[in-house]
Structure 1
Amino acid sequence: MTPDSEFSSSDKSTNQDSHIENLYKERPIDNEFTKVDENIKCGCGNWKPDFLQLCNNPKWLLTCLCIFSMLQGFVVNGINNVNTSTIERRFQLPSSRVGAISSSYDVSAAILGIIISYLGSGKHKPRMVAMAAVTMAIGSFVMTLPHFITGVYEAGQNVAEVCSATDDSAHRSVHCSDSENHLSSYLYVLLLGQALHGIGGTTLYIVGISLLDDSVTSSTSPLYVGILYAFATLGPALGYIIGGRLLDVYVDFHEPNSNR
Protein backbone atom coordinates (compact mmCIF):
# COMPACT_ATOMS: atom_id res chain seq x y z
CA MET A 1 0.00 0.00 0.00
CA THR A 2 1.40 3.38 -1.01
CA PRO A 3 1.59 6.33 1.37
CA ASP A 4 -0.94 8.19 -0.75
CA SER A 5 -3.48 5.41 -0.29
CA GLU A 6 -2.85 5.37 3.46
CA PHE A 7 -3.50 9.10 3.72
CA SER A 8 -6.59 8.83 1.60
CA SER A 9 -8.05 6.00 3.76
CA SER A 10 -7.35 7.90 6.96
CA ASP A 11 -8.96 11.04 5.53
CA LYS A 12 -11.96 8.96 4.47
CA SER A 13 -12.38 7.49 7.98
CA THR A 14 -12.02 10.93 9.53
CA ASN A 15 -14.66 12.31 7.23
CA GLN A 16 -17.01 9.43 8.11
CA ASP A 17 -16.54 9.99 11.83
CA SER A 18 -17.19 13.69 11.48
CA HIS A 19 -20.25 12.97 9.34
CA ILE A 20 -21.69 10.58 11.96
CA GLU A 21 -20.97 13.11 14.69
CA ASN A 22 -22.79 15.80 12.72
CA LEU A 23 -25.75 13.46 12.25
CA TYR A 24 -26.04 12.93 16.02
CA LYS A 25 -25.87 16.66 16.57
CA GLU A 26 -28.56 17.34 14.00
CA ARG A 27 -30.96 14.62 15.24
CA PRO A 28 -33.49 15.96 17.76
CA ILE A 29 -32.96 13.06 20.18
CA ASP A 30 -32.34 15.29 23.18
CA ASN A 31 -35.38 17.39 22.38
CA GLU A 32 -37.57 14.30 22.18
CA PHE A 33 -36.38 13.04 25.53
CA THR A 34 -36.90 16.49 27.02
CA LYS A 35 -40.50 16.49 25.82
CA VAL A 36 -41.11 13.04 27.29
CA ASP A 37 -39.62 14.08 30.63
CA GLU A 38 -41.88 17.14 30.70
CA ASN A 39 -44.92 14.97 30.04
CA ILE A 40 -44.25 12.54 32.87
CA LYS A 41 -43.47 15.15 35.51
CA CYS A 42 -45.73 15.48 38.52
CA GLY A 43 -47.67 18.70 38.84
CA CYS A 44 -50.81 20.55 37.90
CA GLY A 45 -50.91 22.00 34.40
CA ASN A 46 -47.73 23.95 33.76
CA TRP A 47 -46.83 24.00 37.45
CA LYS A 48 -44.33 21.16 37.81
CA PRO A 49 -41.72 22.14 40.41
CA ASP A 50 -38.61 20.08 40.91
CA PHE A 51 -39.28 19.27 44.57
CA LEU A 52 -42.56 17.60 43.60
CA GLN A 53 -40.67 15.13 41.40
CA LEU A 54 -39.57 13.29 44.53
CA CYS A 55 -43.09 11.84 44.55
CA ASN A 56 -42.85 10.72 40.93
CA ASN A 57 -42.37 7.02 41.63
CA PRO A 58 -44.57 3.93 42.16
CA LYS A 59 -44.20 3.97 45.96
CA TRP A 60 -45.66 7.44 46.29
CA LEU A 61 -48.39 6.52 43.83
CA LEU A 62 -49.27 3.53 46.00
CA THR A 63 -49.27 5.76 49.10
CA CYS A 64 -51.69 8.24 47.55
CA LEU A 65 -53.99 5.50 46.28
CA CYS A 66 -53.98 3.78 49.69
CA ILE A 67 -55.00 7.01 51.42
CA PHE A 68 -57.67 7.58 48.80
CA SER A 69 -59.10 4.06 49.10
CA MET A 70 -59.06 4.17 52.89
CA LEU A 71 -60.94 7.47 53.00
CA GLN A 72 -63.41 6.21 50.40
CA GLY A 73 -64.19 3.14 52.48
CA PHE A 74 -64.28 5.22 55.67
CA VAL A 75 -66.91 7.60 54.28
CA VAL A 76 -69.04 5.37 52.05
CA ASN A 77 -69.02 1.99 53.79
CA GLY A 78 -68.30 3.17 57.34
CA ILE A 79 -69.69 6.52 58.46
CA ASN A 80 -72.63 6.45 56.05
CA ASN A 81 -73.89 3.08 57.32
CA VAL A 82 -73.44 4.01 60.97
CA ASN A 83 -75.44 7.25 60.61
CA THR A 84 -78.42 5.69 58.83
CA SER A 85 -80.72 5.75 61.87
CA THR A 86 -79.59 9.25 62.82
CA ILE A 87 -80.38 10.60 59.35
CA GLU A 88 -83.75 8.86 59.47
CA ARG A 89 -84.75 10.64 62.70
CA ARG A 90 -83.18 13.98 61.87
CA PHE A 91 -84.82 14.41 58.47
CA GLN A 92 -88.02 12.44 59.13
CA LEU A 93 -87.36 9.86 56.48
CA PRO A 94 -88.80 6.35 56.41
CA SER A 95 -86.38 3.45 56.30
CA SER A 96 -87.23 2.71 52.68
CA ARG A 97 -86.12 6.18 51.58
CA VAL A 98 -83.02 6.21 53.74
CA GLY A 99 -81.94 2.98 52.04
CA ALA A 100 -81.99 4.83 48.72
CA ILE A 101 -79.04 6.92 49.92
CA SER A 102 -76.76 3.89 50.03
CA SER A 103 -78.24 2.56 46.80
CA SER A 104 -77.42 5.76 44.90
CA TYR A 105 -73.72 4.93 45.23
CA ASP A 106 -74.19 1.59 43.48
CA VAL A 107 -76.55 3.04 40.87
CA SER A 108 -74.13 5.78 39.83
CA ALA A 109 -71.24 3.30 39.81
CA ALA A 110 -73.18 0.85 37.63
CA ILE A 111 -74.31 3.48 35.14
CA LEU A 112 -71.00 5.29 34.78
CA GLY A 113 -68.70 2.29 35.21
CA ILE A 114 -68.62 1.43 31.51
CA ILE A 115 -68.05 5.07 30.49
CA ILE A 116 -65.24 5.49 33.01
CA SER A 117 -63.65 2.24 31.84
CA TYR A 118 -63.66 3.49 28.25
CA LEU A 119 -62.20 6.89 29.14
CA GLY A 120 -59.66 5.29 31.48
CA SER A 121 -58.04 3.35 28.65
CA GLY A 122 -56.40 6.53 27.35
CA LYS A 123 -53.36 8.50 28.42
CA HIS A 124 -54.89 10.61 31.18
CA LYS A 125 -55.20 8.06 33.98
CA PRO A 126 -53.42 10.20 36.62
CA ARG A 127 -55.70 13.13 35.85
CA MET A 128 -58.78 10.95 36.11
CA VAL A 129 -57.70 9.61 39.50
CA ALA A 130 -57.04 13.16 40.69
CA MET A 131 -60.47 14.27 39.47
CA ALA A 132 -62.00 11.25 41.23
CA ALA A 133 -60.50 12.42 44.52
CA VAL A 134 -61.90 15.92 43.95
CA THR A 135 -65.31 14.44 43.10
CA MET A 136 -65.28 12.43 46.33
CA ALA A 137 -64.47 15.58 48.29
CA ILE A 138 -67.30 17.50 46.61
CA GLY A 139 -69.71 14.63 47.35
CA SER A 140 -68.78 14.70 51.05
CA PHE A 141 -69.24 18.48 51.12
CA VAL A 142 -72.67 18.17 49.52
CA MET A 143 -73.75 15.60 52.10
CA THR A 144 -72.80 17.98 54.94
CA LEU A 145 -74.89 20.85 53.58
CA PRO A 146 -78.25 19.76 55.13
CA HIS A 147 -76.73 19.94 58.62
CA PHE A 148 -75.74 23.58 58.15
CA ILE A 149 -78.75 24.68 56.09
CA THR A 150 -81.39 23.36 58.48
CA GLY A 151 -82.00 24.97 61.84
CA VAL A 152 -81.22 23.67 65.30
CA TYR A 153 -82.58 20.21 65.96
CA GLU A 154 -85.22 20.17 68.69
CA ALA A 155 -85.53 16.69 70.09
CA GLY A 156 -89.11 15.41 70.24
CA GLN A 157 -90.59 18.22 68.17
CA ASN A 158 -89.85 17.10 64.66
CA VAL A 159 -92.74 14.66 64.63
CA ALA A 160 -95.29 17.14 65.89
CA GLU A 161 -98.32 17.36 63.69
CA VAL A 162 -100.61 20.29 63.06
CA CYS A 163 -104.19 19.17 62.58
CA SER A 164 -107.30 21.10 61.72
CA ALA A 165 -110.85 19.84 61.85
CA THR A 166 -113.63 20.97 59.55
CA ASP A 167 -117.33 20.37 60.16
CA ASP A 168 -120.08 20.34 57.62
CA SER A 169 -123.53 18.90 57.49
CA ALA A 170 -122.43 15.64 55.90
CA HIS A 171 -119.29 14.60 57.71
CA ARG A 172 -116.42 15.71 59.87
CA SER A 173 -112.91 15.68 58.39
CA VAL A 174 -109.53 16.11 59.98
CA HIS A 175 -106.52 17.33 57.98
CA CYS A 176 -103.05 16.87 59.45
CA SER A 177 -99.78 18.20 58.12
CA ASP A 178 -96.31 17.63 59.36
CA SER A 179 -94.81 20.84 60.71
CA GLU A 180 -91.32 19.79 59.65
CA ASN A 181 -92.20 18.01 56.42
CA HIS A 182 -89.81 20.18 54.43
CA LEU A 183 -86.88 18.32 55.99
CA SER A 184 -87.61 15.29 53.83
CA SER A 185 -86.69 17.29 50.73
CA TYR A 186 -83.05 17.16 51.83
CA LEU A 187 -83.08 13.51 50.81
CA TYR A 188 -82.25 14.59 47.26
CA VAL A 189 -79.20 16.49 48.48
CA LEU A 190 -77.97 13.37 50.24
CA LEU A 191 -78.65 11.30 47.12
CA LEU A 192 -76.59 13.72 45.03
CA GLY A 193 -73.67 13.58 47.44
CA GLN A 194 -73.71 9.79 47.51
CA ALA A 195 -73.91 9.66 43.70
CA LEU A 196 -70.76 11.80 43.53
CA HIS A 197 -69.14 9.34 45.91
CA GLY A 198 -70.05 6.59 43.46
CA ILE A 199 -68.34 8.40 40.59
CA GLY A 200 -65.14 8.92 42.60
CA GLY A 201 -65.06 5.40 44.01
CA THR A 202 -65.68 3.76 40.64
CA THR A 203 -62.86 5.74 39.05
CA LEU A 204 -60.51 4.75 41.87
CA TYR A 205 -61.04 1.01 41.49
CA ILE A 206 -61.16 1.01 37.68
CA VAL A 207 -58.59 3.58 36.60
CA GLY A 208 -56.49 3.72 39.78
CA ILE A 209 -55.66 0.02 39.83
CA SER A 210 -54.92 0.09 36.10
CA LEU A 211 -52.58 3.04 36.63
CA LEU A 212 -50.84 1.23 39.47
CA ASP A 213 -50.44 -1.90 37.36
CA ASP A 214 -48.93 0.13 34.51
CA SER A 215 -46.44 1.84 36.84
CA VAL A 216 -44.80 -1.28 38.29
CA THR A 217 -43.38 -4.51 36.92
CA SER A 218 -45.54 -7.59 36.46
CA SER A 219 -43.75 -9.37 39.32
CA THR A 220 -44.45 -6.64 41.89
CA SER A 221 -47.91 -5.69 40.67
CA PRO A 222 -49.77 -8.27 42.85
CA LEU A 223 -48.01 -6.98 45.96
CA TYR A 224 -48.91 -3.35 45.22
CA VAL A 225 -52.54 -4.19 44.44
CA GLY A 226 -52.80 -6.33 47.59
CA ILE A 227 -51.54 -3.47 49.75
CA LEU A 228 -54.07 -1.16 48.12
CA TYR A 229 -56.98 -3.51 48.87
CA ALA A 230 -55.74 -3.98 52.44
CA PHE A 231 -56.06 -0.24 53.05
CA ALA A 232 -59.44 -0.26 51.30
CA THR A 233 -60.61 -2.86 53.84
CA LEU A 234 -59.19 -0.84 56.72
CA GLY A 235 -61.33 2.18 55.79
CA PRO A 236 -64.78 0.70 56.66
CA ALA A 237 -63.39 -0.75 59.90
CA LEU A 238 -62.22 2.68 61.02
CA GLY A 239 -65.53 4.14 59.85
CA TYR A 240 -67.54 1.83 62.11
CA ILE A 241 -65.26 2.40 65.12
CA ILE A 242 -65.06 6.19 64.82
CA GLY A 243 -68.68 6.51 63.69
CA GLY A 244 -69.85 4.55 66.72
CA ARG A 245 -68.00 6.94 69.00
CA LEU A 246 -69.47 9.95 67.22
CA LEU A 247 -73.01 8.69 67.85
CA ASP A 248 -72.56 9.78 71.47
CA VAL A 249 -72.05 13.39 70.34
CA TYR A 250 -75.19 15.51 70.07
CA VAL A 251 -75.98 16.73 66.57
CA ASP A 252 -75.86 20.44 67.54
CA PHE A 253 -73.16 20.23 70.19
CA HIS A 254 -71.85 23.65 69.16
CA GLU A 255 -75.16 25.40 69.91
CA PRO A 256 -75.36 26.50 73.57
CA ASN A 257 -79.19 26.59 73.65
CA SER A 258 -79.82 23.25 71.98
CA ASN A 259 -81.59 20.39 73.75
CA ARG A 260 -79.17 17.62 74.62
Structure 2
Amino acid sequence: MFVAGLVVNGCINVVITTIEKRFGLRSSQTGLVASGYDIASFACLVPVTYFGGRINASKPRWIGWGVILMGLGSLTFALPHFLVGPYRASSAVSNVCLNNSTNRECSSDADEENLSWNVWLFFLAQLLHGAGASPLFTLGVTYIDENVSKKMSSVYLGVYYTMAIIGPAVGYVISGQLLLIYTDFLLVDPLS
Protein backbone atom coordinates (compact mmCIF):
# COMPACT_ATOMS: atom_id res chain seq x y z
CA MET A 1 0.00 0.00 0.00
CA PHE A 2 2.90 2.34 0.72
CA VAL A 3 4.44 1.86 -2.73
CA ALA A 4 1.07 2.03 -4.48
CA GLY A 5 0.28 5.30 -2.76
CA LEU A 6 3.78 6.66 -3.37
CA VAL A 7 3.73 5.93 -7.11
CA VAL A 8 0.11 6.45 -8.11
CA ASN A 9 -1.22 9.06 -5.72
CA GLY A 10 2.06 10.85 -5.04
CA CYS A 11 4.55 10.84 -7.88
CA ILE A 12 2.13 10.86 -10.79
CA ASN A 13 0.03 13.69 -9.35
CA VAL A 14 3.15 15.83 -8.93
CA VAL A 15 4.62 15.23 -12.38
CA ILE A 16 1.39 15.39 -14.39
CA THR A 17 1.84 19.09 -15.24
CA THR A 18 5.46 18.47 -16.22
CA ILE A 19 4.35 15.63 -18.48
CA GLU A 20 1.71 17.92 -19.97
CA LYS A 21 4.37 20.47 -20.90
CA ARG A 22 7.01 17.94 -21.98
CA PHE A 23 4.74 16.02 -24.36
CA GLY A 24 2.55 18.92 -25.48
CA LEU A 25 -0.64 17.49 -23.98
CA ARG A 26 -3.84 19.41 -23.34
CA SER A 27 -5.32 19.56 -19.87
CA SER A 28 -8.19 17.34 -20.98
CA GLN A 29 -5.68 14.69 -22.03
CA THR A 30 -3.83 14.79 -18.72
CA GLY A 31 -7.21 14.60 -17.00
CA LEU A 32 -7.84 11.40 -18.95
CA VAL A 33 -4.47 10.07 -17.79
CA ALA A 34 -5.22 10.92 -14.17
CA SER A 35 -8.65 9.26 -14.34
CA GLY A 36 -7.30 6.02 -15.86
CA TYR A 37 -6.39 4.69 -12.41
CA ASP A 38 -9.91 5.22 -11.09
CA ILE A 39 -11.54 3.78 -14.22
CA ALA A 40 -9.55 0.54 -13.99
CA SER A 41 -10.02 0.26 -10.24
CA PHE A 42 -13.75 0.65 -10.63
CA ALA A 43 -13.92 -1.89 -13.48
CA CYS A 44 -11.78 -4.48 -11.69
CA LEU A 45 -13.07 -4.13 -8.16
CA VAL A 46 -16.09 -6.45 -8.37
CA PRO A 47 -14.50 -9.24 -10.49
CA VAL A 48 -11.31 -9.26 -8.39
CA THR A 49 -13.29 -9.33 -5.15
CA TYR A 50 -15.59 -12.09 -6.38
CA PHE A 51 -13.02 -14.40 -7.96
CA GLY A 52 -10.23 -13.63 -5.48
CA GLY A 53 -12.50 -14.16 -2.50
CA ARG A 54 -13.69 -17.63 -3.48
CA ILE A 55 -12.91 -20.51 -1.18
CA ASN A 56 -10.28 -22.13 -3.41
CA ALA A 57 -8.71 -18.85 -4.59
CA SER A 58 -5.30 -17.84 -3.30
CA LYS A 59 -5.49 -14.23 -2.09
CA PRO A 60 -1.70 -13.77 -1.97
CA ARG A 61 -1.47 -14.92 -5.57
CA TRP A 62 -4.12 -12.37 -6.62
CA ILE A 63 -2.30 -9.64 -4.68
CA GLY A 64 1.01 -10.69 -6.24
CA TRP A 65 -0.42 -10.47 -9.76
CA GLY A 66 -1.77 -7.05 -8.84
CA VAL A 67 1.67 -5.88 -7.76
CA ILE A 68 3.14 -7.21 -11.01
CA LEU A 69 0.50 -5.26 -12.97
CA MET A 70 1.38 -2.14 -11.04
CA GLY A 71 5.06 -2.67 -11.87
CA LEU A 72 4.22 -3.06 -15.56
CA GLY A 73 2.16 0.11 -15.29
CA SER A 74 5.12 1.99 -13.85
CA LEU A 75 7.40 0.75 -16.62
CA THR A 76 4.81 1.73 -19.21
CA PHE A 77 4.51 5.17 -17.62
CA ALA A 78 8.28 5.67 -17.98
CA LEU A 79 8.40 4.34 -21.55
CA PRO A 80 7.50 7.59 -23.41
CA HIS A 81 10.54 9.31 -21.94
CA PHE A 82 12.76 6.76 -23.67
CA LEU A 83 10.77 6.63 -26.92
CA VAL A 84 11.07 10.32 -27.76
CA GLY A 85 14.15 12.39 -28.41
CA PRO A 86 15.89 14.66 -25.92
CA TYR A 87 13.80 17.42 -24.44
CA ARG A 88 14.25 20.88 -25.93
CA ALA A 89 12.73 23.59 -23.79
CA SER A 90 11.04 26.22 -25.90
CA SER A 91 12.02 29.78 -25.21
CA ALA A 92 9.69 32.72 -25.18
CA VAL A 93 11.26 34.03 -28.39
CA SER A 94 10.29 30.92 -30.37
CA ASN A 95 6.63 31.43 -29.50
CA VAL A 96 6.51 34.94 -30.96
CA CYS A 97 5.09 35.36 -34.45
CA LEU A 98 7.09 37.58 -36.70
CA ASN A 99 5.05 40.27 -38.43
CA ASN A 100 6.12 41.30 -41.85
CA SER A 101 4.35 43.78 -44.05
CA THR A 102 3.52 41.08 -46.62
CA ASN A 103 3.20 37.83 -44.68
CA ARG A 104 2.89 36.47 -41.20
CA GLU A 105 4.73 33.35 -40.08
CA CYS A 106 5.12 31.63 -36.78
CA SER A 107 8.28 29.68 -36.15
CA SER A 108 7.17 27.71 -33.09
CA ASP A 109 4.79 25.30 -34.85
CA ALA A 110 7.34 24.18 -37.44
CA ASP A 111 10.03 23.32 -34.93
CA GLU A 112 8.00 21.38 -32.39
CA GLU A 113 7.45 17.65 -32.67
CA ASN A 114 3.95 16.32 -32.00
CA LEU A 115 4.28 14.03 -28.99
CA SER A 116 0.65 13.96 -27.92
CA TRP A 117 0.30 10.32 -29.03
CA ASN A 118 2.05 9.43 -25.77
CA VAL A 119 -1.17 10.17 -23.90
CA TRP A 120 -2.32 6.65 -24.76
CA LEU A 121 0.77 5.07 -23.17
CA PHE A 122 0.23 7.14 -20.03
CA PHE A 123 -3.45 6.15 -20.00
CA LEU A 124 -2.57 2.46 -20.44
CA ALA A 125 -0.07 2.76 -17.59
CA GLN A 126 -2.72 4.24 -15.33
CA LEU A 127 -5.15 1.46 -16.31
CA LEU A 128 -2.51 -1.08 -15.29
CA HIS A 129 -1.94 0.78 -12.02
CA GLY A 130 -5.66 0.76 -11.25
CA ALA A 131 -6.14 -2.90 -12.14
CA GLY A 132 -3.10 -3.84 -10.08
CA ALA A 133 -4.18 -1.87 -7.03
CA SER A 134 -7.70 -3.31 -6.85
CA PRO A 135 -6.62 -6.57 -5.10
CA LEU A 136 -4.74 -4.53 -2.49
CA PHE A 137 -7.84 -2.66 -1.39
CA THR A 138 -10.18 -5.64 -1.26
CA LEU A 139 -8.29 -8.88 -0.86
CA GLY A 140 -5.42 -7.39 1.14
CA VAL A 141 -7.70 -6.32 3.96
CA THR A 142 -9.54 -9.64 4.12
CA TYR A 143 -6.26 -11.58 3.94
CA ILE A 144 -4.91 -9.68 6.95
CA ASP A 145 -8.16 -10.15 8.84
CA GLU A 146 -8.24 -13.91 8.17
CA ASN A 147 -4.60 -14.60 9.08
CA VAL A 148 -3.97 -12.70 12.28
CA SER A 149 -5.56 -13.03 15.69
CA LYS A 150 -8.70 -11.03 16.41
CA LYS A 151 -6.78 -9.11 19.05
CA MET A 152 -4.04 -8.00 16.62
CA SER A 153 -6.24 -7.54 13.55
CA SER A 154 -6.95 -3.88 14.29
CA VAL A 155 -3.24 -3.16 14.75
CA TYR A 156 -2.30 -4.73 11.42
CA LEU A 157 -5.14 -2.98 9.61
CA GLY A 158 -4.14 0.29 11.24
CA VAL A 159 -0.57 -0.11 9.97
CA TYR A 160 -1.91 -1.12 6.54
CA TYR A 161 -4.07 1.98 6.20
CA THR A 162 -1.39 4.22 7.70
CA MET A 163 1.00 3.12 4.97
CA ALA A 164 -1.71 3.92 2.41
CA ILE A 165 -1.81 7.47 3.81
CA ILE A 166 1.94 7.99 4.26
CA GLY A 167 2.78 6.70 0.76
CA PRO A 168 1.28 9.63 -1.17
CA ALA A 169 2.83 12.14 1.25
CA VAL A 170 6.28 10.65 0.73
CA GLY A 171 5.58 10.52 -3.03
CA TYR A 172 4.85 14.25 -3.08
CA VAL A 173 8.08 15.05 -1.22
CA ILE A 174 10.29 12.78 -3.33
CA SER A 175 8.73 13.89 -6.62
CA GLY A 176 9.05 17.54 -5.67
CA GLN A 177 12.77 17.02 -5.14
CA LEU A 178 13.13 15.01 -8.38
CA LEU A 179 11.57 17.87 -10.34
CA LEU A 180 14.69 19.89 -9.54
CA ILE A 181 16.70 17.55 -11.78
CA TYR A 182 16.79 18.41 -15.49
CA THR A 183 14.82 16.04 -17.75
CA ASP A 184 17.73 14.68 -19.82
CA PHE A 185 20.45 15.14 -17.22
CA LEU A 186 22.87 12.73 -18.93
CA LEU A 187 22.53 14.21 -22.41
CA VAL A 188 22.09 17.93 -21.97
CA ASP A 189 23.71 20.56 -19.81
CA PRO A 190 20.80 22.70 -18.57
CA LEU A 191 23.06 25.70 -18.06
CA SER A 192 24.21 25.93 -21.67
User: Cα–Cα, structure 1 residues 178 and 213, in superposed 2: closer, same or farther, change >3 Å?
Assistant: farther
Query: Which residue is equivalent to 1:225?
Result: 157
Q: Report how many aligned residue pairs link the two structures.
A: 182
The 8 Å contact of residues 10 and 171 in structure 2, kept in 1 or not, is answered as yes
Give the corresponding residue for 1:80: 12
**Greater Rg over alpha carbons, structure:** 1
Alignment of 1:181-220 (within 5 A): 181-220=113-152
Structure 1 residues not aligned, in runs of 5+: 1-68, 164-171
* CA distance in structure 2 between the partners assigned to 1:222 and 1:178 by the alignment: 61
Shift of 1:175: 11
TM-score normalised by structure 1 residue count: 0.64
Q: Which has the higher contact order (CA 8 A, sep 6+)?
A: 2
The 2-side partners of 1:118 and 1:196 are apart by: 19
Q: Residues 24 and 114 of structure 2 are in contact (CA less than 8 Å); yes or no, is this contact kept in structure 1? A: no
CA distance in 2, matches of 1:113, 1:124: 16
In 2, the alpha carbon distance for the partners of 1:73 and 1:189 equals 20
C-alpha contact 1:154 1:258 (8 A) present in aligned 2: no
Counterparts of 1:133 and 1:246, CA distance in 2: 24
For residues 29-77 of structure 1, what are the alpha-carbon distances to aligned partners after superposition, in whole Å with 9 as ceiling and x for unaligned?
xxxxxxxxxxxxxxxxxxxxxxxxxxxxxxxxxxxxxxxx111000011
Over 3 Å counting, the alpha-carbon distance change for 1:178 and 1:100 in structure 2 is: farther
**What is aligned with 1:90?**
22
Specify the alignment match of 1:22 in structure 2.
Answer: none
Matched, 1:253 2:188: no
SS state at 1:83 partner: helix
Alignment-mate amino acid for residue 108 of structure 1: A
Q: CA deviation at 1:219?
A: 2.4
2:89 pairs with one of 155, 173, 189:
155
After superposition, the C-alpha distances for 1:77-118 in whole angstroms (9 at most, x for unaligned) are 111011011001100011121111110100111111111111
| Distance in 1, Cα, partners of 2:133 & 2:58 | 17
Q: How much identity, in percent, do the aligned residues show?
A: 36
C-alpha spacing 1:183/1:259, structure 2 compared with 1 (3 Å)? farther
Would you say 1:71 and 2:17 are equivalent positions?
Answer: no
Residues 1:256 and 1:87: Cα distance change in structure 2 (over 3 Å): closer
The CA RMSD over aligned residues, in Å, is 2.4
Other structure's SS at 2:115 match: helix
The one-letter amino acid of 1:101's match is V
Q: Does 1:134 align with 2:63?
A: no
1:245 & 1:257 partners in 2: Cα distance? 19
C-alpha distance in structure 1 between counterparts of 2:13 and 2:190, whole Å: 26
List per-residue Cα deviations over 1:196-242 (Å, max 9, x = no partner).
Answer: 00011111111111111111122221111111011111111111111
**Match of residue 80 from structure 2:** 146
* Cα distance between partner residues in 2 of 1:259 and 1:141: 29
* Per-residue deviation, 1:180: 3.7
Answer yes or no: is the 8 Å Cα contact 1:153–1:258 preserved in 2.
no
